A and B are shown apart, each in its own frame.
Chain A
Amino acid sequence: MVDFGFYIICGAAVVLLATQAVSNPTAFVQITVFGLADGAMYALVALGYTMVYGIIELINFAHGDVFTLGGYISAAILGFFAINEGSFTAVNLIAIVLVFPVVMLIMGGINITIERVAYRPLRNAPRLAPLITAIGMSFVLEGIMFLWHGPATVHFPDILPHGPQFQTTIGGVFVTFKDGFVMVTAVVLVTLLAIFINRTKLGKAMRATAQDRDAAQLMGININRTIAATFFIGALLAGAGGMIWGLYFNNLFYNLGFRTGLVAFTSAVFGGIGNIPGAAIGGVLIGLIAAYSDSYIGSKWTEVVIFGILIGVLVLRPTGLLGMRVPEK
Chain B
Amino acid sequence: MTEPTAVKRLSLMARLHLRERIRDRDQAIYGILFLGALVFPMATLFITGGSTAYISQAAHAGTWVLLAIGLNVVVGFAGLLDLGYAAFFAIGAYTYALFASSQLGTSPLHHNFHLPFFLMLIIGMLVAASFGALLGFPTLRLRGDYLAIVTLGFGEIVPVLSYNLPQWTGGINAIGGIDQPWLPAWITGPWAGANSVSIIQDATCRNPLAQTQFIPCFSFGFDPVAYYVLIVILIIGAVILVSNLYRSRLGRAWMAIREDETAAAAMGINTVTTKLLAFAIGASFSGFAGAYYGASFDLVSPDDFLFVVSITVLVMVVLGGMGNISGVIVGALVIYFILNTLLPSLASNAESLANSIGLGSLNTQKGDWPGLYGEVQRLQFLLFGLILVMIMLLRPQGLFPSRVREQELKHDAVVEEETVAEQVPSR
Chain A complexes with chain B: yes
A314 to B381, CA, bound (A): 33
B58 at the interface (CB under 8 A from A): no
Number of B residues near A (Cβ < 8 Å) is 46
- Kindly list chain B residues whose C-beta atoms are within 8 Å of the C-beta of A59: 145, 148
B396 at the interface (CB under 8 A from A): yes
B29 at the interface (CB under 8 A from A): no
A135, B388: Cβ atoms under 8 Å?
yes
A266 at the interface (CB under 8 A from B): yes
Instruction: Knowing A307-B157, A310-B149 are in contact, say whether A135-B396 is a contact too (CB < 8 A).
Output: no
- Kindly list chain A residues whose C-beta atoms are within 8 Å of the C-beta of B397: 125-126, 129
- Kindly list chain B residues whose C-beta atoms are within 8 Å of the C-beta of A27: none
Q: Which of A260-296 contact B (CB under 8 A)?
A: 262, 266, 269
Min CB–CB distance B121 → chain A (angstroms): 29
In the complex, what residue of chain A is closest to B382 when comparing beta carbons?
Answer: A143
A329, B143: Cβ atoms under 8 Å?
yes
B209 at the interface (CB under 8 A from A): no
Q: Which of A294-329 contact B (CB under 8 A)?
A: 300-301, 303-304, 307-308, 310-311, 314-315, 318, 326-329
A136, B378: Cβ atoms under 8 Å?
no
- Kindly list chain B residues whose C-beta atoms are within 8 Å of the C-beta of A57: 145
A12 to B75, CA, bound (A): 37
Main secondary structure of the interface of B (DSSP, over half): helix
Number of A residues near B (Cβ < 8 Å) is 45
- Chain A window 135-153, contacts with chain B (Cβ cutoff 8 Å), 1 for yes, 0 for no: 1111111111011001000
**Contact with A132, one of B164, B319, B378, B380 (Cβ below 8 angstroms):** B319
A125, B396: Cβ atoms under 8 Å?
yes
Instruction: Knowing A140-B385, A143-B379, A318-B142 are in contact, say whether A122-B393 is a contact too (CB < 8 A).
Output: yes
B386, A136: Cβ atoms under 8 Å?
yes
A92 at the interface (CB under 8 A from B): no
A129, B385: Cβ atoms under 8 Å?
no
B163, A300: Cβ atoms under 8 Å?
yes
Min CB–CB distance B180 → chain A (angstroms): 33
**Contact with B143, one of A128, A150, A300, A328 (Cβ below 8 angstroms):** A328
- Kindly list chain A residues whose C-beta atoms are within 8 Å of the C-beta of B139: 311, 314-315
B164, A307: Cβ atoms under 8 Å?
no
Instruction: Knowing A307-B156, A314-B146 are in contact, say whether A142-B311 is a contact too (CB < 8 A).
Output: no
Q: Which 9 A-B pairs have the closest CB atoms?
A: A143-B382, A139-B385, A136-B388, A143-B381, A140-B385, A125-B396, A307-B153, A136-B389, A310-B153
- Having A303-B160, A307-B153, one finds 11 other A-B pairs with CB under 8 Å, namely A59-B145, A132-B314, A132-B388, A133-B388, A139-B381, A140-B381, A262-B156, A307-B156, A308-B157, A314-B149, A326-B145
Chain A to chain B contacts (Cβ below 8 Å), 14 pairs? A57-B145, A126-B405, A132-B314, A136-B389, A140-B381, A140-B389, A144-B382, A266-B153, A269-B149, A307-B154, A308-B153, A310-B149, A314-B153, A329-B144
